[in-house]
Amino acid sequence: MRPQDGWTPFLEAGLASAEAVGDPDAQSRTRALLGRILHEEGRHAEALVHLEKAPGLAALAGDLTSEAIAVVNRAVVLDATGECARARALMAEAVALADRTGHPSTQVPTLQHLAEPRPRPPIRPRRHPAHDSPVPV
């Protein structure tokens, strides 16, 4: 199933149910996934609304796995929207949380996201001021 297959309404209904029963772990998990799906749909601002709340709800529930996943999802969206420094800091936080879980199924994807290459600006050759020719780098 892909995000465009209509997950959003179901996740929104699930979130409403989790809020109605006061389950912070279910709220965190649902917000983390909903944020990720909204991001994939290009709805970054809406995604961040959910992803800002998800880690705190997971911490309230005492679920390190949910917290790590929520932080990773938030970092992915921030990175995609150009907030790379903030995203890197969050990814380091997510790795620390994942390590505390002791679960490879949480640790590996977190490290994988941390290691993903980021686009970098092109390197431009420096010019020598005396002859306006490229200087070997």
pLDDT tens-digit map of 12-50: 999 999 999 999 999 999 999 999 999 998 999 999 999
Measured distance CA(74)–CA(87) in Å, rounded:
8
Measured distance CA(44)–CA(35) in Å, rounded:
8
Residues of the chain with pLDDT > 70, as a percent, come to: 79
Measured distance CA(10)–CA(8) in Å, rounded:
5
Mean pLDDT of 81-100: 88
Cα-Cα-Cα-Cα dihedral of 18, 20, 21, 26, to 10°?
10
* Band of residue 124 on the pLDDT scale cut at 50, 70, 90: very low
Provide the CB-side half-sphere exposure for 94 (13 A, CA).
28
